[in-house]
């Protein structure tokens, strides 16, 4: 289904993603782990076409999605929804409207200007919120919700696109453990029940082991581990995170990057 072939992304003289190759056959739950700066976010952004590759191919059912332009590229972006650490909702907008933003790029400018949504779309947005256990939040402003609820709204917005693949960039890095579990359980449910592939950058080994069918470990832009959670030994984890003496199992890769602005990219895409 998904074949990433020799993909490289260079920034200046540095390769953020360096000749990466892997493939995923079915709707698996794939975790990507590695230190901050390993290239995890860049890899997801390449897949979603938020950034362009310097070399390589990403084949989805035989079609190179890196070569798509214009409408075909936008169609691909709605087939692979993106979820971010900071949720990227419109804070002062109500929850249902935030969910409806998942299909913003399918509407005309006039429809968007007058905030016209079809009854069918609104009902579908509410049904998705209901499925995720937050239907009662629908009329509230997004900013009034807890972090865990906001991330579920972001997942609902992704589902509104009816994507084949969900790309999640450290979806629980800003959440407390209880909300983190609810969000991961939600992603897992969507993966299992809907058969949508999930590829998630994760900042703890623990989460990767618990939720993923497969774990890819990145270091310096390269894949240094690719296997099942069972194969992810402490030794393998040391290879991924570096053999620091102070390595510990809760190793975190999370940092809010200052050099990339997914919020802006997301907004630009939505407004394109």
At its nearest, how many Å lie between ligand ADP and the CB of residue 211? 19
Question: Which strands, in side-by-side order, build the sheet including 55-60?
Answer: 14-24, 2-11, 55-60, 63-64
Residues numbered 21 to 80 that lie near Mg ion (CB under 5 A) are: 40-41
Which tokens go with 249? Answer: 């199992």
With CB under 5 to 8 Å by kind, the binding choice for 146 among ligand ADP, Mg ion, none is: none
Give residues 198-257 in contact with ligand ADP (rule: CB under 6 A).
253, 257
Do 155 and 82 meet the contact criterion of CB atoms below 8 Å apart?
A: no
Task: Return d(Cα 71, Cα 73) in angstroms, integer.
Answer: 5
Q: Closest separation between CB of residue 11 and ligand ADP, Å?
A: 4
Residue number with CB closer to ligand ADP (53 or 142): 53
Q: With CB under 6 A as the rule, give the number of residues binding ligand ADP.
A: 14
In three-state secondary structure terms, 64 is strand
Q: Positive or negative CA dihedral for 61, 198, 26, 128?
A: negative
CA-based angle 106:80:168, to the nearest 5? 125
Residue with smaller CB distance to ligand ADP, 16 or 153 = 16
Count CB-CB contacts under 10 A for residue 7.
22
208 binds, among Mg ion, ligand ADP, none (CB under 5 to 8 A by kind): none
- With binding defined as CB under 6 A, does residue 259 bind ligand ADP? yes
- Which CA distances in Å does 191 have to 30, 82, 124, 165, 184? 10, 14, 19, 9, 11
CB of 139 to Mg ion, least distance (A): 33
> Which residues between 18 and 57 bind ligand ADP (CB under 6 A)?
34, 36-42
Contact positions toward ligand ADP, by CB under 6 A? 11, 16, 34, 36-42, 253, 257, 259-260
Contact positions toward Mg ion, by CB under 5 A? 40-41
């Amino acid at each position: 289904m998904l074949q990433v072939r020799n993909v490289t992304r260079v920034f200046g003289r540095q390769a953020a993603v360096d000749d990466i190759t892997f493939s995923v056959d079915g709707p698996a739950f794939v975790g990507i782990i590695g230190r901050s700066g390993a290239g995890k976010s860049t890899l997801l952004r390449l897949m979603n076409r938020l950034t362009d590759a310097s070399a390589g191919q990403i084949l989805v059912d035989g079609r190179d999605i890196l070569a798509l332009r214009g409408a075909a590229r936008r169609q691909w972006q709605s087939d692979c929804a993106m979820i971010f650490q900071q949720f990227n909702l419109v804070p002062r907008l109500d929850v249902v409207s935030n969910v409806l933003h998942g299909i913003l790029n399918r509407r005309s400018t006039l429809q968007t200007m007058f905030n016209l949504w079809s009854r069918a779309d609104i009902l579908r947005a509410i049904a998705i919120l209901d499925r995720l256990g937050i239907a009662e939040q629908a009329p509230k402003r997004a900013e009034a919700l807890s972090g865990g609820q906001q991330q579920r709204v972001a997942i609902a917005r992704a589902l509104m696109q009816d994507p084949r693949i969900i790309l999640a960039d450290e979806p629980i890095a800003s959440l407390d453990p209880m909300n983190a579990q609810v969000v991961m359980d939600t992603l897992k449910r969507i993966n299992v029940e809907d058969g949508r592939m999930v590829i998630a950058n994760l900042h703890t080994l623990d989460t990767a082991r618990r939720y993923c069918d497969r774990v890819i470990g990145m270091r310096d832009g390269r894949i240094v581990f690719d296997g099942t959670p069972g194969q992810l030994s402490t030794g393998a984890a040391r290879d991924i995170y570096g053999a620091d003496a102070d390595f510990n199992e809760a190793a975190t890769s999370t940092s809010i990057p200052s050099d990339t602005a997914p919020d802006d990219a997301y907004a630009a895409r939505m407004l394109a």
